[in-house]
Structure 1
């Protein structure tokens, strides 16, 4: 699975939680979940759970703490696949 496909699947996961739809449309590796998408910490937990389900992976607490932007999330997903 290439990075573009991972990003597309991640965007679908983020859609219900992102408060800034314009930022979601412009999503890229530098997109920050809190600053750009206006998500809160509870949303981040939900996103991690949804990522685990979507990709059939388990994300440990250490990895979860790093997942504050798209690039970090893609790195964690890639490492766990």
Structure 2
């Protein structure tokens, strides 16, 4: 059961989870860096939610998943292959 497909799927799953959790924080951070009209992080979060809706926190989801998903998949595959070589 512990094969390349399993490691690939684990890496993609980890990337997907990371993007789901990290996207709202990343969107708020980017908006605060680019616009000084927000008073605080909470203010930015609430204004985005009220003015644009919940899905605004997931703008750029596919490019982020493409980056993190691929990176995690390569990392998991490399790590598991390296562990196999050193275990003998």
TM-score, with length taken from structure 1: 0.33
Structure with the larger helix share = 2
Looking at both structures, which has the greater relative contact order when contacts are Cα pairs under 8 Å and sequence separation is at least 6? 2
Point out the structure with max Rg over C-alpha: 2
TM-score, with length taken from structure 2: 0.32
